[in-house]
């Protein structure tokens, strides 16, 4: 399990993290 705050930080840093983070959350 990962922290949601970390994903939010990665989203703005990496555009590819947006779809990957969403898929991971699901």
Rounded CA-CA distance 17/21 in Å is 6
The parent domain of residue 23 ranges over 1-26
Angle at 22 between CA 26 and CA 13, to 5 degrees: 150
Higher pLDDT: 2 or 19? It is 19
Q: What's this model's pTM, rounded to 2 decimal places? A: 0.18
Condensed to tens digits (0 to 9), the pLDDT of residues 13-25 reads: 555 556 665 666 5
Domain count, the chain: 1
* pLDDT bracket for residue 4 (50, 70, 90): low
């Amino acid at each position: 399990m990962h922290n949601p705050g970390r994903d939010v930080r990665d989203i703005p840093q990496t555009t590819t993290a947006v779809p990957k983070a969403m898929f991971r959350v699901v």
